[in-house]
Amino acid sequence: MKEVYLKISHEPDVVLYIFSDPNFALPKIMPGYESHSADVDGTFRVIGVVGIYPYVLQGRVFKGSVVKYVFRMEDGLEGAGNIDISAEGDKLKLTIDYDGSAKSQFESAFEKAMKKVSKKIDEEIRLERIKRKI
C-alpha cells in the first residue's frame, strides 16, 4: 500500500466531486495510463503499461466522503486493488492498495505519476471548475 499527499488550494468537497468523475481522474491516477472508457453507471475500463507489463483493468467508482476506484485486472497483469481519494485539510490523500503480479512496479508507477500530477493539479482543478461552472 502506498500513500501520496497532494497539496490543494481548492475546497475539499469540490475536489472530491471532480475526482469522482472517471474521465477527469483516471488519466491522472492510474499507473501507466494509456486510454480508458467510462460508463454513466460508474464502471470503467483502462488500458495501460507498467514498465514492460501491459494491462487491461475494469472497475467501478464509488462516491462519498472518500472516492474509491475499485478495479481488477482483466488482461496482462493479474490481481485487484483500489485507489482511495480523500481530503485532509489542504491536502488530497491518495492511497493505492494493489495485490497482484508486478505489485511493486504498479505502486511505484502510481507514486511517480502522482509526483508528476502534483506540479499542476491546482491549475487542472481550476480549469475543470471553470469548465463545469463550479
Which CATH number characterizes residue 18's domain?
3.30.530.20
Listed residue (54, 89, 96) closest to 73, CA to CA: 54
Enclosing domain of residue 16: 2-132
* Chain centroid to CA 40: 17
| Whole-number pLDDT of residue 134 | 85
The pTM for the full model equals 0.91
Listed residue (55, 36, 54) closest to 46, CA to CA: 36
In a structure prediction context, what are the per-residue pLDDT tens digits for the chain, which is 134 residues long? 899 999 999 999 999 999 999 999 999 999 889 999 999 888 999 999 998 889 999 999 999 999 999 999 999 889 999 999 999 989 999 999 999 988 999 899 999 999 999 999 999 999 999 999 88
Query: Looking at the 3D structure of the chain, how many domains does it have?
Result: 1
Distances (CA, A) of 62 to 32, 54, 84, 92: 22, 25, 10, 17
Listed residue (40, 71, 39) closest to 57, CA to CA: 71
